[in-house]
Homo-oligomer: A and B are copies of this chain.
Amino acid sequence: MLPVDLPDTVRDALLAPLVDHHCHGVRRDDLARAQFELLISGGGSPAPPGTTHFDTPFGASLRRWCAPLLDLEPHTPPAVYLARRAELGAAEVNRRLLAGAGVVAFLVDTAPSDTASPNTAPSNNVPSNNVPSNTAPSDAADEPALLSAAEMGRHGGAAADELVRIEQIERDVAASAQLAVDYLDDLGEELTVRAARAVGLKTVMARLCGLDLEPTRPSRGSVIAAANRRLDEPGEPPTDPILLRHLLWCAIDVARERGLPLQFHSGFGGAGAGRADPAGLSELIKTLQPIGVPVILLHCYPYHRQAAHLAGLYPNVYVDVGLAVPHTAGASAVVVDELLTLAPFHKQLFSSGCQGVAEAAYLGALSYRRALGTALAARLGAGEWSATDAARVAHMIGAGNARRIYRL
C-alpha cells in the first residue's frame, strides 16, 4: 500500500492510528444503487442519463480498494460491488470499512445531512424524486438515518467526539422560537449548551452565503430585523448574511469562552464555488487572531494552496484537504504534497470528511497514507529531509496536531 522505499520508522508513523478530526455519520441502512450513487457524488445530483457516478476518481478508487474488504477482487464492477454490499448488510460493511480505516478517534459533525449537499441546500424541505429522504428533522425521526458519533466510534473501534454544526443549532432555534428576542436568546444558550459536550464548532457558511462575508459583528437592530424575517420560514437553512454573521459571532464568543476551534467548510462541495475560497476569510482571520480562536479550514480543494498560504501567514489558521483526498483518489498525492509544500507541519491535519458511506472514511485514511507516503518518499529520495523528521511530521499531521488543538 505504501511506497516500497520508505524507512521502517516512516512506515510505522504512516500506519499509526489517525485522528479523523472531521467526518459525518454514515448511513445505517442498506442502500439501493441510485441512493448509493448520490452519496458518492460530489454534488448530490444523479449522473446524466447513460452515465454513472462510479466513473469518477472516487468510484474507481472505491472499486479498487474497498472491494477487497468486501472479499471481492480489485476493480470489481459496480453491480457486483453493490450486490456484495447488500449481501453483507450495511452494519457489517460499516464495521469493516470504519475499522479498516485505522482511526483512533472520530470527531463527528452530527447534523443531519440535509444541509450538506450544495444542490439541495436552499430547498431541502422539498422532497426530490431522486434524493434519498434523510432530510427529516433530527428530533422527528425514530431512528436517524446516520450513525451517531458514539456509533461511529463503536463500529470503528475508536473514540468519538462531537462537533457542533452551528447552522443546525440555528435551525432548531428558528423552528421553536416565537419572537425575535427569544430567537436571539435561545441561539446563544443553545450554542453554549451544545458546545459544552463538543470538542469543536463547525460552520458551512461557505455553502450558504460564501466566505467573503463582512468580518464584523452586525448591529443588534439589523439582527432583530433579520430574525423577524427568519421566523417566517424557520424550516429552511439560514441564508441571510446578517443572520449568518450574527450566528458566526455567537459561535466565536462560545469558542473563545470554551477554548474550542472553529471549523470552516471551504472549497470542495461549496455551492457558490468561487465564494468558497478560504482566501475570502482573510479579514475575519485577522480579526480572530487576538481573540485566540483557532480557524480550521476543511477540504479547501481547489483552493488548498491558498489555504496552505493562510496557514503559513496566520498563527491561528489550520488546514486539511479532507474529503478532497478520497475524491481525488489515486491522484491525491499531488494534493497532499501541495499542502506539505507550504503549510507549516504543525498546522496540517488529517480528516476523511466522510459523509453518508463508510467507503469515504476508509478511502480517506488509505489515500491519505498513500499520498503522504509518496510525498515523504520524494523528500527522502531527494535528500531534503531526514527519516527522523519525516516520521515526526507523519505523527504530527496524522494525530498529534489534532490532539493538541482539540485537547483530546
| Among B64, B280, B305, B340, contact of A385 (Cβ-Cβ < 8 Å) | B64
Per-residue 0/1 for A43-66: is the Cβ within 8 Å of any B Cβ (1 yes, 0 no)? 101111011110111001100100
Whether B46 lies near A315 (C-beta < 8 A) is: yes
| Among B269, B314, B383, contact of A45 (Cβ-Cβ < 8 Å) | B314
Chain B residue contacts of A283, Cβ below 8 A: 272
Which A125-143 residues have C-beta < 8 A from chain B?
A: none
Whether A315 lies near B56 (C-beta < 8 A) is: no
Chain B residue contacts of A286, Cβ below 8 A: 119, 271
Given A308-B302, A389-B75, A393-B55, A271 contacting B313 (CB threshold 8 A): yes
Chain B residue contacts of A75, Cβ below 8 A: 385-386, 388-389
Per-residue 0/1 for A300-332: is the Cβ within 8 Å of any B Cβ (1 yes, 0 no)? 011001101110111110000000100111110
* Chain A residues at the B interface, C-beta cutoff of 8 Å: 41-43, 45-48, 50-53, 55-57, 60-61, 64, 74-75, 118-119, 212, 267-269, 271-275, 277, 279-280, 282-283, 286, 289, 301-302, 305-306, 308-310, 312-316, 324, 327-331, 334-335, 337-338, 340-342, 344-346, 378-379, 382-386, 388-389, 393, 396, 404
| Among B61, B267, B313, contact of A118 (Cβ-Cβ < 8 Å) | B313
Instruction: Offer 16 A-B interface pairs, CB within 8 angstroms, sorted by A.
Output: A42-B309, A45-B289, A52-B346, A53-B344, A55-B345, A55-B393, A56-B312, A57-B341, A119-B313, A212-B274, A272-B283, A273-B306, A274-B282, A302-B309, A327-B342, A334-B337
> How far, in Å, is A50 (CB) from chain B's closest CB?
6
Chain B residue contacts of A315, Cβ below 8 A: 43, 45-48
Chain B residue contacts of A53, Cβ below 8 A: 344
| Among B47, B282, B385, contact of A273 (Cβ-Cβ < 8 Å) | B282
A52 to B48, CA, bound (A): 46
